[in-house]
Amino acid sequence: MIDDTFLEQLRNDARQLQYEPDDLMTTRIAARVRARVSEEAAGGIAQLLARWFRPVVVSLAALSLAAVVGVGWLELSPEPAPGLDAVSSSQTVDVSVGGDVFSVE
Amino acid sequence: MMSATSMFGGASVGSLALDRSVFTAERAQTRSATNEDPIEARAITAVKAGDAGSYGYLVSKYTKRVVSIAWGIVRNAADAEDLAQEAFVKAYENIARFKSGEPFGPWIYRIVTNLGLDLIKHRKRFRHEEITDAAPAERRDRADLPAITNELAARIDRAIESLPEMQRIVARLYLVEQFGHTEIAAMTKLTEGTVRSHLSLARGKLKEKLADLHGGNND
């Protein structure tokens, strides 16, 4: 049991050892906390806006980059690749029916 | 004692009517541990809702006690001031996590105690200051000591300061700051059993040093 008379008497006497900050210190602390809290509050709004705008800006930047790359690639391509029509018109297909061979274009 | 309104300019605390002089922070501080201070409860609600100005009331109400706790741990006025400031800012940053209806005191005391313990660990790690359990009293800056006017208090102070670190902190919180075991356990993140153990060890050493003051026949 530690809550004995000795400790309780000591507790009564030790109470006066509490540190008493002077008015200057308490005022300084209050002022600094107020300044920091104001910064936090302002920073909070900025962070909120940043939270919303950052993904939008990133998305727009990604779209812009994709568009620029796409357009650049199209412009650099010398000729369009031949399509199905071009292939089909330039080649003939031989079809064998009953021993006769027909050429189909 | 300054009121919250005067310390924080009173600009954004109008909604709380904190300028009612009857509710000075110091008077409210004398109330019991449960949150029976309606101004404090309203200030917390307002701060949670984004009214940063209302935080001034809480700062004003708890500054002295917070500085005293910090000073007891770091034994240096400048560090105690910085710790108090950091504790209030940290509490503000985490105010959303604070349970409404509970008193603000235990929460801010816990924060400042942990910051103080972190500072001590940091000092030890980087050897910014010589801290040994053998001579902890030597590290304090004598200019920062409060004016201890009588020999009894001075002897008790020296005896507490001669204790090993955690015994010293627990003993100081119990004897000087008048906290209970449960409160100290919450503040220091120790178990209540460990707090009692530290206090018991501290008691033995204090009794040796101060036996002539309070006797020593009540084991």
Within a domain: residue A59?
Answer: yes
> What predicted TM-score, i.e. pTM, was given to this entire model?
0.67
Chain A partners within 8 Å of B67 (Cβ)? 19, 21, 25-26, 29
Burial of B22 (0-12, 13-18, 19+ CB in 10 A): exposed
Q: Is B120 in contact with B168 (CB distance < 8 Å)?
A: no
Nearest residue of B to residue A22, measured between CA atoms: B64
Within a domain: residue A9?
Answer: no
How many domains is chain A partitioned into structurally? 1
Nearest to B216 among A6, A14, A38 (CB): A6
Torsion sign over Cα B140, B146, B149, B150:
negative
Instruction: Scan residues 134-163 of B and list those with Cβ closer than 8 Å to A.
Output: 146, 148, 152-153, 156-157, 160
Polymer length of chain A = 105
Task: Note down the domain range covering A53.
Answer: 21-73
Q: Give the C-alpha separation, B202 to B218, whole Å.
A: 15
- Is ipTM strictly over 0.85? no
Instruction: Scan residues 59-118 of B and list those with Cβ closer than 8 Å to A.
Output: 59-60, 63-64, 67-68, 71-72, 77, 80-81, 84-85, 88-89, 92-93
Is A100 in a helix, a strand, or coil? Answer: strand
Cβ neighbours around B67 below 10 Å, total: 26
**For testing the chain B interface, which of A12, A26, A40 should be mutated: the one with the most B CBs within 10 Å?**
A26
Within a domain: residue A3?
Answer: no
Nearest residue of A to residue B77, measured between CA atoms: A21
Give Dmax (Cα) for chain B: 58
Output the tens digit of pLDDT for each of chain A's 105 residues.
444 888 899 999 999 999 999 999 999 999 999 999 988 777 666 666 666 777 888 888 999 999 999 888 888 876 655 555 555 556 677 778 777 887 776
Distances (CA, A) of B39 to A95, B5, B59, B115: 98, 12, 13, 27
pLDDT at A89: 58
Cβ neighbours around B215 below 10 Å, total: 12
Q: Give the C-alpha separation, A12 to B60, whole Å.
A: 26
pLDDT at B138: 46
Architecture of domain B139-219: Orthogonal Bundle (1.10)
The answer to whether the Cβ–Cβ distance between A14 and B153 falls below 8 Å is yes
Q: Give the C-alpha separation, B133 to B162, whole Å.
A: 8
Nearest to B8 among A23, A34, A36 (CB): A34
Within a domain: residue A94?
Answer: no
pLDDT, tens digit, 9 for 90 and up, residues B31-86 = 445 567 889 999 999 999 988 889 999 999 999 999 999 999 999 999 999 999 99
pLDDT at B139: 45
Q: What are phi and psi of A95, to 5 degrees?
A: -120, 130
Chain A partners within 8 Å of B84 (Cβ)? 29
Give the domain ranges of chain B.
1-129, 139-219
- Domain B1-129, CATH number (from 1.10.760.10, 3.40.50.10860, 1.10.1740.10, 3.40.1160.10): 1.10.1740.10
Residues of chain B with pLDDT under 70: 1-35, 127-149, 214-219
